[in-house]
Amino acid sequence: MARAITEEEYRALAGFRQELREFLSFSETAAQDAGLTPQQHQALLAIRAAPKAVLIGELARQLALRPNSVTGLVDRLAKQGLVERRETEGDRRRVPVSLTSRGEELIENLADAHRGELRRIRPLLANLLLRI
């Protein structure tokens, strides 16, 4: 039988969840300030993190979206000049997507801001995790 959760653990869990929500709020605001939706930001980050051009199907899996939704998302990012497709014959889900130089610059700036925020809250998160 699992031991009961202590009052301190409840406070730590609540604090950790609050910090996660505040980080997500920071992230959403940073994306919006850069002219992106949070979903577009996540897509750019996933594309940048991939070792090579990412396929629509793989991007859909990473974003937990349907491939047709990701196709529309990629279309909007391409219209902004942030990503490019390498068109191939056949299945649109097999189209490699990569960042343009403009997309690279934008995601680098956002990643730098996020890294700074995570470094700022790291001690607090670590402390909360130790208390759980």
- Tens of pLDDT along the chain (132 residues) come to 789 999 999 999 999 999 999 999 999 999 999 999 999 999 999 999 999 999 999 999 999 999 999 999 999 999 999 999 987 776 655 789 999 999 999 999 999 999 999 999 999 999 999 999
CATH 3.40.50.300 fits 7-130, yes or no: no
Do 95 and 78 form a contact (C-beta atoms < 8 A)? no
d(CA 110, CA 82): 13
Provide the pLDDT for residue 93.
53
E strands in the chain: 54-55, 83-85, 96-99
Res 92: pLDDT = 56
Domain residue spans in the chain? 7-130
Q: Report residue 1 as tokens.
A: 């039988």
